[in-house]
Amino acid sequence: MDMKLDQIAIYYNEGTKEFHIQGLNFSYIFKILKNNQLGHIFYGKRIHHRASFSHMLKIKPRANSTVQFEDDPAFSLEMIKQEYPSYGTTDFREPAFQIVYENGSRISNFEYKEHKIYKGKPRLDGLPATYVENESEAITLEIHLFDEQTATEIILLYTVFAQFNVLTRSAKFINKGKQALNLTRVMSANIDFFDADFEMIHLSGAWARERHVKNRKLEVGIQSISSTRGNASSPHHNPFIALKRPDATEHQGEVYGFSLVYSGNFLAQVEVDNFEIARVSLGINPFDFNWLLESGESFQTPEAVMVYSDQGLNGMSQTYHELYRTRLARGKWRDKMRPVLINNWEATYFSFHEEKLLEIAKVAKGLGVELFVLDDGWFGQRNNSKTSLGDWFVNHEKIPSGIDGLSRKINDLGLAFGLWIEPEMISKQSKLYSEHPDWLIQVPGRRQSPGRNQFVLDFSRKEVVDHIYEMMAKLLSTASISYIKWDMNRYMTEIGSATLPAERQRELSHRYILGVYRLYERLTSEFTHVLFESCAAGGARFDPGMIYYAPQTWTSDDTDAVERLKIQYGTSLVYPLSAIGAHVSAIPNHQVKRLTNLHMRAAVAYFGVFGYELDVTTMSEYDRACMREQVNFYKKHRELIQKGIFYRLLSPFVGSGNDTAWMVVSKDKKEAIIGYFQVLAKPNPKYKKLLLKGLDPNTEYEIEGSSVTHYGDELMNFGLVLEEGNVVVDQSGYKQSGDFTAQLFVMKAKR
C-alpha cells in the first residue's frame, strides 16, 4: 500500500520490493534483498518516485570476500549497504544490533515478514519521542522482521512528517519464543551512505564549557562520541552528530543531522570501511549494557531524529528548532511565553532567611521580574552541600512560614513562585539515608565514591520513584508553585542495584533513565500548570529526552557573557531558543571572574529564556534602571525570540573567535533582532558589516534608533554596517567601550 499526505508519501514498489519515503525535501529508499533482509539504496535530496530503483543498487563480486550463497559470488553483506545490519554473516562492520542466545550463539537471521503504512505516529513505550496532534501530520512505515529459528521479532518504525524535513526511526524487539534472550546492542538507527566524503560535526566540552562545536574529517576507521555517565547524556558529548559535505557552510550545502531522544548512556558512531562507505549508528551505548528479554517481553529503543538539509547547518538547525519546540516539548508551557525570573542562588548561596528572600523579590518585582525562584538550601538541614538531599521538607529555621507560606507571600508581591529540587540524589547525612541506606546505587563490599558530597538514588526501583513522587506531589499540592528547577549534579559510580538479580545488573543505567521519565510523566501530567526546567550541573543533560518533559533547560552553570557566546552558539545547532535558559549574573562572574558590562550580559542572555541570578538589593540605582529597561525589552520581544527563526551569522569557533553574531526573524519576515558581539577591542579597527539572513528582499526595513531604512536584499547582499571603533552607544544611550561589547539592532518592516 502506498500513502500520500499532500507533499509527502511512502511508496512500496511491489515488483522490486522497494520502499521510498518521500519527505518535503528528501528521499529515503531501501529494499528487500535477495536474502530477504533490508538493503539501503539512497538518502538525500528528494527525487521522483519511479517503479524501480534497481539501477541504483550495484552488487558485484569482490576479491577475497565472503558471500551468503554458494552460487552467487557477488552477494556479500560486507559490500552491500544495509538498513539494520547484524554481525557474523559476511558483514564485518559493527552491527545495528546483537543478541546472545541461550546456547551462546550471536548469529541471527531477521528476514522481512510484513509491513504496514498508516497515517499518524505511534507512541513509544515508556520513552519520550516526537509526536503528532492529529494523524494527518505524518505517515509511518512499520517493517516487521522475524527470526524463525528463535521466534524473535524486530519492528522498525519510520515516520515522515508533513510539516518538517524529518525522518524518525526506532526499533522494537519482541521475544515470541520460549528461550530467554540477551540484547547486548540495540541501536535506534543505522544508515550506510554511498561514500564517506563528509566532515563530522559534534558538540563537546565539560562543565562550564558545554556544547562547543567540533569538526573533523571522516577517515577510515571508527569515529564516535558517547556517554558512559549512566544517568546523563553528559556535558562532554551531546547525543547529536551531523555529517556535512566539505563544501557545506552555515547556509548552503548538504548536511545530515542525527539526534537521539534519550538522556542516558548513548553512542553516536561513524564507521568508514576500506571501500569508503560511511556507516552511521545511533542509540543506547552498548558499553556496560545488557538487557535480558524473557519470553513474551519486548524492548523499545529510543527515537532517532534524522534531518536532511541542502541549506547548510543553519537549515538543519531550523528544522530541529521548530520540530523540538512544537512537536517534542508538550503541555501548557510549550507555546506560552516564559516568565522573566530571578534566582537567588548567586545572590545568597546557602546563606539566606525568609526576610532576605522577600526583600530580593520585592525589589525584583519593581524592576519588572515575573517569577522568583528559590534555589538550593531550603530543605532539611541544608546549610552546605554535605547534607539533606532526599529530605524534601522545609527548614523552618530559614523559612518560618514554610514553602506554602513563603510562596503565598511572594504571590502577594505580584510574583509567581518557583523552587529548586534535586530529586534523584541523596546525602548520607539525611533522614532518608538513615531509613533506606540500600536505596543508593552501590555494589556491596565496594567503596562508595562520593561526588559533590552526594550519591545517586536507585531510580530503577519503583518504591524509590514512588517515594520521591509523594514528597514532590505534596510540595506542589500544598504550596503555590508554578515553576520547578529539576537539578541533577552527580553521575553514577559503582553501578549496582540491591534488587536487580545478577543477570540484570547491566540493565540498571537504562532502567534508571526509565524511572526518571516515569517520575517526570507523573508530575507533568498531574501538575500541568507547573513550568519544569531541567538542570544537570548546568547543561549535563541538555538533550531531546528532557525537552519532552521540561521545555527549557538550564544551559550551563557558566553565566559569563563571553563564554556563553560559544555555549549558546553550539547549543543552537540542535535546540531552539525557547529551550535555552540564559541569565544575567553579577560581576566579577562567579565562574571565570571576568568583568563584563551589564549591557553585554543582557544582550547575550536575550537570545534564550531570560532571567537574573544576582542580588538586586545591592545594585546601584543606575544598574537597576538598566535592568528595568532590559526586562521591558525582553518582554516586548520575547515572542519573536522564543518563536522566531534563528540564524547564526558569525561563529566564535572560526578564526580568532573574536566576533560572534546571530539574529532571529519573525515567520512573516516583518521583524528581526540582530546581536553582534565583540570580545576584545582592537586598535584602529576596520569597518565591519554583517550579511543578514532570512529577510524579505522586497521589504523596506526600519532600524530602531536610525533614520536610514534598508531593503532586505541590501541587508542580505551588501550587509549592515556596524558601529565604528571601540566605543559603542546602544539605542538607550548606554555607552560601552573597550573589551566585551554588544550591539543590538531591532528591525521592523516599514509601514
- The Cα 351–Cα 312 span in angstroms is 49
Q: Which among 91, 147, 487, 730 is annotated as catalytic?
A: 487
Q: Is 487 a catalytic residue?
A: yes
Contacts 24+ apart (CB under 8 A), 105-110: 108/147, 108/150, 108/152, 109/147, 109/148, 109/149, 110/37, 110/84, 110/86, 110/145, 110/146, 110/147, 110/152, 110/154
Measured in degrees and rounded to the nearest 5, phi and psi for residue 302 equal: -65, 170
DSSP track, 34-82: TTSSEEEEEEEE-----S--GGG------TT---SBTTBTT--TTTS-B
Peptide bond into 444 cis (omega under 30): no
DSSP category for residue 429 = B
Q: Residue count of the chain, please give it.
A: 751
Q: Which three cell numbers stand for residue 640?
A: 519573536
Whole-Å CA distances, 646 to 202, 311, 653? 19, 14, 18
Q: Which three cell numbers stand for residue 437?
A: 541506606
Which phi-psi region, left, alpha or beta, contains residue 437 (left: φ > 0; alpha: ψ -120 to 50)?
alpha
Q: Is 557 a catalytic residue?
A: yes
Burial 79-106 (b: 16+ CB within 10 A, else e): bbbbbbbbbebbbebbbbbbbbbeeeee
Measured in degrees and rounded to the nearest 5, phi and psi for residue 532 equal: -95, 135
Q: 121: helix, coil or strand?
A: coil
- The Cα 191–Cα 747 span in angstroms is 43
Amino acid, single-letter form, for residue 745: F
Q: Which among 192, 375, 376, 557 is annotated as catalytic?
A: 557
Cα angle, residue 125 at apex, residues 124 and 130 outer, rounded to 5°: 25
Asked if residue 605 lies in contact with residue 563, where contact means CB atoms within 8 angstroms, the answer is: no
Asked if residue 376 lies in contact with residue 384, where contact means CB atoms within 8 angstroms, the answer is: no
Sort 519 into a burial class: Cβ within 10 Å, 0-12 / 13-18 / 19+: buried
Active site residues: 487, 557
